[in-house]
Chains A and B, each alone.
Chain A
């Protein structure tokens, strides 16, 4: 799930 976290970045 950790890789989902930075998907909020551009």
Chain B
């Protein structure tokens, strides 16, 4: 494992910890999109089916379990916790799942490395992850008062993918058989989606102002 990959994984982990702490400490999930969290749950379930079939490393297994458990915890809080669920921006979080899920499913059926259930679901999770942040970005745009932790959460999540691109470049140069075009293209699309957010995040940070996205 190279340094970019490890930094990417740690950034991803940190983003989830920030989100868990924010919701738990403030007893509020204001500004957080349940749709994005549920799409991530689908992504992790489809991608990590190999937990049952293929052991890669202890690190790999532990990280997968952490991502699954933390995402389902957040969803549980937002849907059922008696204090937290009241703070969910239900009326603002209106992005339709099917606009993202259906095209990704069709694409995964058409474009994959191998036409087997496991492989198609894995590919589907790669495509879906690339766009799963969209409901969250739309919600942020509609929220007038973005709190720091929510901004940091999205920033960390975007940074994770940017670091993975560096990891792929590194692996491409150092590993003979490392060719993953579907993953690379999806990862680049995913990172591009964040560029606008990054711009306003860094601008607000440099000017010491509160983050807000233009509608």
Report which A residues bind B (CB closer than 8 A): 1-3, 5-10
Contacts and interface: CB of A to CB of B under 8 A. Distances in A.
B56 A3 contact: no
Interface string B89-129: 00000000000000000000000011000010010000000
Contact residues on B (Cβ < 8 Å of other chain), bracket: 20 to 34
Contacts of B122: 7
A2 to B, nearest CB: 5
Contacts, number: 33
5 contacts: A3-B113, A3-B119, A5-B180, A8-B56, A9-B164
B177 interface: yes
Contacts of B5: 9
Interface string B21-56: 000000000000000000000000000001000101
B175 A7 contact: no
Given A3-B114, A5-B175, A10 B67 contact: yes
Contact of B64 (A1, A5, A10): A10
A6 B178 contact: yes
B60 A8 contact: yes
Given A6-B183, A9-B5, 8 more contacts: A2-B177, A2-B178, A3-B113, A5-B177, A6-B178, A10-B9, A10-B60, A10-B63
Residue from the set A5, A7, A8, A9 with the largest chain B CB neighbour count within 10 Å:
A9
Contacts of A9: 5, 164, 167, 183
Contacts of A8: 56-57, 60
Contacts of B63: 10
Contacts of B9: 10
